[in-house]
């Protein structure tokens, strides 16, 4: 007979919840404080939730096969019993005010996510900004393209450069709101324009090799002219500028930054490196008078969606966040992930995270954080999760549950988080919403102009106005 025991606090009273699980017989017994509250001989399916009520609280025990052993997780009202509520400190102390959140819980969570998942970010370096090129005739005069060199002065005397592509609408009455996003293959692939430099790379991601020297090959994915038409700017750089997307610590910013914080387990991974680069883009945007620094938005697709979420969680200058189909290590809860588990993602892409995260692959329930707490770090800023309903690998249902578990922090800070079901299908329109929303379309792992329009619709609603 296998099983697990949890101690939980409900209405200020500690309770002991026990699961007895006959892994061969299928018998399942759930007890609270020694009393049986549910008993079943029905065969238990691995990877499913088994619900029961304790008073007005909806509880679920998630049973998952871990090879020769089963693994168990208890959630109460959608929140894992292991990580607890976003409005409680790690030691269980309640977070009861905005001051508690700002001065205690938020700093604690920032440290926990850097220590256990992504790695520690270095401090802000000295920087120099140079506009290398400027072309005011992009899209037949509708936009200006700026090629900005962001030169970072690193400890030890090394310099490192980010090549930023900034596209700004010309037809506007004031500074433009902006979306930031890193790209996979090069700035020149966002749009077919001869003025955008093609920067040679020593290493190319496998998805970039066949068409690297072709311009505009990903124009449909980025839908840039539409973004310009809607009054938004776009700022982007290729991820290789910070760190190539491969398991190698001898290249990119990792090789050049001497004395980065953390030890061998907690040093920054690739997602953290990309995020740190995006923070430097924000530094530049604050100097550019064409940009409205009260409407800086960030998005990213897949692994770059994970990056967008972590970037915004660590930098409150970012005003709105739209992770696009970000999955594990992004919006989806790690503990109940049936597809891309922590063990699987850290085996396939160990460089994305720090080495501490890899250690929890076989026992994710011991991880002291889960992704609802990263979402909580966005509060009270608006966040929309983009979900493709056929993209089951990204587990959009677990992203929605994570948002619901983060919602109390928004309420603590005086804003509505989740309103109603918390999602909208196909069109934003005039749907009643809080600061948290999941946007759903019946697509696979995909990004196109329809998703971009939804992002800007959401931003317009949250900012209370459209670009002028």
Whole-number pLDDT of residue 26? 65
pLDDT above 90 coverage of the chain, percent:
76
Please confirm, yes or no, whether 466 is among the known catalytic residues.
Answer: no
Q: pLDDT digits over 96-116, tens only? A: 999 999 999 999 999 999 999
pLDDT digits (tens, 9 = 90+) for 194-239: 999 999 998 999 899 999 999 999 999 999 999 999 999 999 999 9
129-311 matches 2-77 in CATH topology: no
In this predicted structure, the answer to whether residue 332 has a pLDDT above a threshold of 60 is yes
The span from the CA of 358 to the CA of 356, in Å, is 5
pLDDT for 8 equals: 79
pLDDT at 337 over 90: no
Annotated active-site residue 445? The verdict is: yes
**Res 24: pLDDT:** 67
Non-local CB neighbours of 50 within 8 Å, separated by 6+ positions:
28, 30, 44, 60, 61, 62, 63
Q: What is the pTM of this model?
A: 0.90
| Mean pLDDT of the residues in the chain | 92
User: Out of 75, 302, 395, 407, which one is annotated catalytic?
Assistant: 302
206 Cβ neighbours under 8 A, 6+ residues apart: none
pLDDT in tens, 233-261: 999 999 999 999 999 989 999 999 999 99
Task: Locate the domains of the chain by residue range.
Answer: 2-77, 86-118+326-446, 129-311
What is the three-class DSSP state of 49?
A: strand
Query: Of residues 165 and 27, which shows the higher confidence score?
Result: 165
Quick: pLDDT tens for 273-297.
Answer: 999 999 999 999 999 999 999 999 9
The pLDDT confidence band at residue 1, using thresholds 50, 70 and 90, is low
Q: In the structure, what pLDDT confidence band is assigned to residue 15 with cuts at 50, 70 and 90?
A: confident
Higher-confidence residue: 43 or 224? 224
pLDDT confidence of residue 68: 61
For the 2-77 domain, the top CATH level (class) is mainly beta
Distance in angstroms (rounded) separating the CA atoms of residues 17 and 36: 10
- The matching CATH number, chosen from 3.40.50.720, 3.40.50.1820, 3.50.50.60, 3.30.70.260, for 129-311 is 3.40.50.1820
Which residue out of 279, 445, 446, 450 is catalytically annotated? 445
Question: Edge-to-edge strand order for the sheet containing 79-80?
Answer: 48-54, 57-65, 70-76, 79-80
Q: Can you give the C-alpha Rg of the chain in angstroms?
A: 23
């Amino acid at each position: 007979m296998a099983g697990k025991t949890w101690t939980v606090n409900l209405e200020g009273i500690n309770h002991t919840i026990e699961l007895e699980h006959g892994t061969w017989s299928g018998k399942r017994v759930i007890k609270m404080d020694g009393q049986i509250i549910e008993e079943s001989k029905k065969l238990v399916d691995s990877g499913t939730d088994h619900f029961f009520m304790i008073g007005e609280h909806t509880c679920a025990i998630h049973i998952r096969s871990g090879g020769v052993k089963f693994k168990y997780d208890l959630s109460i009202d959608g929140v894992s019993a292991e990580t607890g509520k976003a409005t409680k400190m790690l030691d269980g102390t309640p977070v009861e005010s905005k001051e508690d959140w700002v001065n205690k819980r938020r700093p604690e969570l920032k440290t926990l996510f850097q220590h256990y998942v992504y790695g520690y970010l270095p401090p802000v370096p000295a920087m120099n900004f140079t506009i290398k090129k400027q072309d005011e005739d992009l899209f037949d005069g509708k936009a200006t393209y700026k090629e900005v060199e962001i030169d970072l002065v690193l400890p030890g005397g090394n310099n490192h450069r980010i090549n930023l592509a900034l596209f700004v609408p010309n037809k506007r009455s004031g500074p433009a709101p902006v979306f930031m996003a890193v790209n996979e293959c090069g700035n020149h692939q966002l749009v077919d324009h001869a003025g955008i430099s093609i920067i040679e790379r020593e290493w190319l991601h496998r998805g970039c090799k066949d068409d690297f020297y072709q311009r505009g090959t990903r124009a449909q994915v980025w839908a840039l002219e539409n973004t310009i038409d809607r009054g938004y700017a776009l700022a982007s750089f290729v991820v290789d500028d910070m760190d190539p997307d491969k398991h190698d610590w001898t290249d990119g910013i990792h090789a050049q930054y001497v004395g980065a914080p953390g030890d061998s387990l907690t040093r920054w991974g690739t997602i953290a490196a990309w995020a740190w680069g995006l923070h430097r883009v924000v530094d530049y945007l604050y100097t550019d008078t064409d940009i409205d620094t009260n409407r800086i938005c960030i998005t990213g697709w897949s692994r770059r969606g994970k990056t967008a979420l972590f970037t915004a969680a660590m930098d409150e200058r970012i005003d709105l966040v739209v992770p696009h189909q970000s999955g594990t290590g992004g919006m989806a809860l790690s503990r109940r992930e049936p597809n891309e588990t922590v063990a699987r993602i850290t085996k396939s892409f160990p460089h994305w995270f720090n080495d501490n995260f890899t250690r929890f692959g076989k026992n994710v329930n011991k991880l002291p954080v889960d992704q609802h707490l990263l979402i909580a770090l966005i509060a009270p800023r608006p966040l929309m999760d983009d979900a493709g309903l056929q993209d089951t690998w990204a587990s959009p249902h677990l992203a929605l549950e994570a948002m619901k578990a983060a919602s109390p922090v928004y309420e603590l800070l005086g804003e509505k988080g989740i309103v109603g079901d918390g999602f909208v299908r196909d069109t934003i329109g005039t749907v009643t919403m809080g600061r948290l929303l999941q946007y759903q379309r019946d697509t696979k792992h995909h990004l196109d102009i329809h998703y971009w329009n939804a992002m800007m619709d959401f931003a317009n609603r949250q900012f209370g106005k459209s670009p002028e």
